Amino acid sequence: MTKVAVVTGASSGIGAATARRLAQAGFTVYGAARRVDRLAELERDGIRPLPLDLTDDEAMQAAVRKVLDEQGRIDVLVNNAGYGSYGAVEDVPLSEARRQFEVNVFALARLAQLVIPTMRAQRSGRIINVTSMGGKFATAFGGWYHATKFAVEGLSDSMRQELAPFGVDVVIIEPGGIKTEWGGIAAESAQERSGDGPYADRVAKIGSRLGSDSFGSDPSVVAKAIERAATARRPRTRYAIGAGAKPLIAARKVLPDRAMDAMFARGLG
């Protein structure tokens, strides 16, 4: 029986690479995104486009219903969609903080709620939540982004324990620096909100690094890890993958807070 996977944020970057990778592995893949026009290339590779606005509950219900009506099952949900909005906590409007939680946390949780009954009935399934190495430690000007990723880490750990008796695995993917649109969006938002005033110098430095293509792994390395998580008989609970992920997460485990602060400060000159 062909297994069915739903990948969110499939219009570019990690999501697009993952959709292709799972399709090559034999899954029937639905690539979900708000910008459906950008799914045309994936459709040519046999991936089924799935319109999905993560801020619209009716749209999320309709998307899951469409997959179940057409396939009768969902075996893998890859919660990849999300974004990083940067700026000093002092400067970021709470409306933007709430929107980031809505997309990065609550939409992820809602999609999980919608697929869990089917997976429980099947007594099998994988929910793969893409967090970040930034769910293990925090850096300046990414406070709200890091808050969402810390939240997904904790949420995923609880879900894993709740769903284990039903044969459903919950796996966390913790990418490091990846060459996607994410860095440019984060840098632009940091400059917009905190590019003037007391934080200007540091924001200019962090913005140049976030927006640089010189640092980062190709999205394919994350897609490969997600494929392993989707197909392994007994997947690991976490996969740290991509530039900087493993050494920085290891450093967080052993270094005191002040030492981590100093390390990141040196990185900003």
How far is it, in rounded angstroms, from Cα 240 to Cα 260?
19
How far is it, in rounded angstroms, from Cα 121 to Cα 260?
45
Q: How many other β-carbons are positioned within 10 Å of the β-carbon of residue 206?
A: 24
Angle formed by the axes of helices 94-101 and 143-163, to 10°? 30
Token digits for 108?
A: 């992820």
Quick one: CA dihedral 200, 206, 210, 211, positive or negative? positive
Angle formed by the axes of helices 245-254 and 257-267, to 10°? 140
How far is it, in rounded angstroms, from Cα 140 to Cα 264?
8
How far is it, in rounded angstroms, from Cα 130 to Cα 109?
12
Give the containing element (helix H, strand E) for 169: strand 168-175
Q: What is the pTM of this model?
A: 0.94
**Tell me, what's the pLDDT at 6?**
98
Q: Which of 55, 43, 115 is nearest to 82 (CA)?
A: 55
Token digits for 150?
A: 């810390």
Nearest 5 degrees, angle CA 245-CA 246-CA 250? 115
Q: Name the active-site residue from 30, 83, 86, 145.
A: 145
Q: Establish whether 239 is a catalytic residue.
A: no
**Tell me, what's the pLDDT at 110?**
98
The values of phi and psi at residue 90, to 5°, are: -60, -30
**Tell me, what's the pLDDT at 141?**
94
pLDDT per residue, tens digit, the chain (269 aa), is 799 999 999 999 999 999 999 999 999 999 999 888 889 889 999 999 999 999 999 999 999 999 999 999 999 999 999 999 999 999 999 999 999 999 999 999 999 999 999 999 999 999 999 999 999 999 999 999 999 999 999 999 999 999 999 999 999 999 999 988 888 888 899 999 999 999 999 999 887 777 665 578 999 999 999 999 999 999 999 999 999 999 999 999 999 999 999 999 987 76
Instruction: List pLDDT tens digits, range 180-215.
Output: 888 888 889 999 999 999 999 999 988 777 766 557
Whose structure tokens read 């949780």? Answer: 109
**Tell me, what's the pLDDT at 216?**
85
7, 18 Cβ separation under 8 angstroms:
yes
Quick one: CA dihedral 46, 51, 53, 54, positive or negative? negative
87, 194 Cβ separation under 8 angstroms:
yes
